[in-house]
Amino acid sequence: MSLPWIMFILLILIVFFPCYFSNEKSYFDIEPCHINRCRLPYCYCSNQTIPGGLTVRNTPQFIAITINGPLDEKIYELLNDIFFSKKYYNPDGLFI
């Protein structure tokens, strides 16, 4: 084989198979988390269970509100009306 063909083959390999030529791990290289080996504070296995043995109904929900723009008096009054006027209720009958 001549040198141009070898260079062409190497170029194709590098372009189409870059993961074989790098030290970076891909998503498929990540090991699953083992609960027996993973202990706080150095490790935490994420999952979808509710901590503390709470039921779905008794689990508190947290919300974050962001405002994109100035917080003027009109917006302040609207937010005050929504969150502190006791006009709006949760499904369980408690105020927002």
Q: Cα torsion for 44, 45, 49, 50, to the nearest 10°? A: 10
pLDDT of residue 23: 63
pLDDT of residue 22: 60
Give the type of residue at 29: D
Vertex 87: Cα angle to 84 and 89 (nearest 5)? 95
Instruction: Determine if residue 10 is left, alpha or beta; phi over 0 gives left, psi from -120 to 50 gives alpha, anything else beta.
Output: alpha
d(CA 12, CA 41): 45
Residue ranges per domain, the chain? 3-49+59-84
pLDDT of residue 67: 81
Per-residue pLDDT of the chain (96 residues; tens, 9 = 90+): 577 778 777 777 776 665 555 666 666 767 788 888 888 888 888 877 887 888 888 888 888 888 888 888 998 898 888 888 888 777 777 777
